[in-house]
Chains A and B, each alone.
Chain A
Amino acid sequence: MVVFSGAALLCALATLSVLGFMIWLSLPVLKSGMLWQILTDPWSPDQGRFGIAAMVVGTLYIAGLSLVISFPVSLGCSFFIQVSSPGLWGRLLKKLVQLMTAIPTVIYGFVGIFLLVPKVRDIFSYGSGMAIVTAAIMLAMLIAPTMILFFTQSYARVPRAYTDAVDALGGTASQRLFYVILPQAWPGILTGVVLAFGRAMGDTLIALMLSGNSVMMPSSLLDSARTLTAHIAMIIAADFDSVEFKTIFICGGILYLMTGLGVFAARLSQQRDRS
Chain B
Amino acid sequence: MKNRWILVLVAMAVALFSAQTGMAQGLEAFSNAKGVLRISGGTAHIPVMKAAARRVMAANSNLQITIAGGGSGAGIKQVGEGLVDIGNSGRKPSEDEVEKYGLAMYKWAIDGVTAIVNPGNGVKALSSDQLKAIYAGTITSWQTVGGEDRSINIYTRDKASGTRAVFWKKALAKGQISGKAQFVSSNGAMKSAVANDPYAIGYMSVGYIDDSVTPVTLDGVTPSLATVKSGAFKVARGLYSNTKGPYKGLAKAFIDYLLGPEGQAIAAEKGFIPVN
Contacts and interface: CB of A to CB of B under 8 A. Distances in A.
Chain A in direct contact with chain B (Cβ < 8 angstroms)? yes
Interface of A: 42, 44-46, 117-118, 121, 125-130, 208, 212-216, 223-224, 226, 230, 233-240, 244
Q: State the 5 A-B residue pairs at the shortest beta-carbon distance, nearest first.
A: A216-B179, A237-B74, A237-B2, A233-B1, A212-B182
Nearest to A224: B182
Contacts of A128: 153, 182, 193, 197, 199-200
Highest count of chain B CB atoms <10 Å: which of A121, A126, A214, A216: A214
Nearest to A114: B196
Contacts, number: 70
A121 B200 CA distance: 12
A118 B150 CA distance: 15
Given A214-B180, A214-B181, A236 B1 contact: yes
Contact of A234 (B77, B81, B185, B193): B185
Tell me if A's interface is mostly helix, strand, loop or mixed: loop
Contacts of A212: 182-183
Interface string B254-272: 0000000000000000000
A129 B181 CA distance: 13
Contacts of A42: 179
A44 B156 CA distance: 13
B4 A118 contact: no
A214 B200 contact: no
Contacts of A125: 150
A244 B160 CA distance: 11
B73 interface: yes
Highest count of chain B CB atoms <10 Å: which of A117, A129, A237, A244: A237
A237 B4 contact: yes
Nearest to B184: A213
A216 B180 contact: yes
B223 interface: no
B151 interface: yes
A164 B171 CA distance: 75
B2 A236 contact: yes
Contacts of A226: 183
11 contacts: A46-B159, A125-B150, A130-B182, A213-B184, A214-B179, A214-B183, A215-B179, A216-B179, A230-B1, A234-B1, A238-B77
A216 B150 CA distance: 20
Interface string B57-101: 000000000000011011001000100000000000000000000
Contacts of A244: 159
A45 B158 CA distance: 10
Contacts of A240: 77, 81
B17 to A, nearest CB: 23
Contacts of A117: 196
A236 B83 CA distance: 14
B179 A129 contact: no
A118 B182 contact: no
Contacts of B199: 128
Interface in B1-17: 1-2, 4
Given A117-B196, A214-B182, A238-B77, 8 more contacts: A44-B179, A126-B151, A128-B182, A224-B182, A226-B183, A237-B74, A238-B160, A239-B73
A208 B1 contact: yes
A61 to B, nearest CB: 15
A234 B183 contact: yes
A126 B74 CA distance: 34
Contact of A237 (B73, B179, B200): B73
Given A214-B180, A237-B71, A239-B77, A129 B159 contact: no
Nearest to B2: A237
Contact of B197 (A45, A129, A216, A235): A129
A120 to B, nearest CB: 11
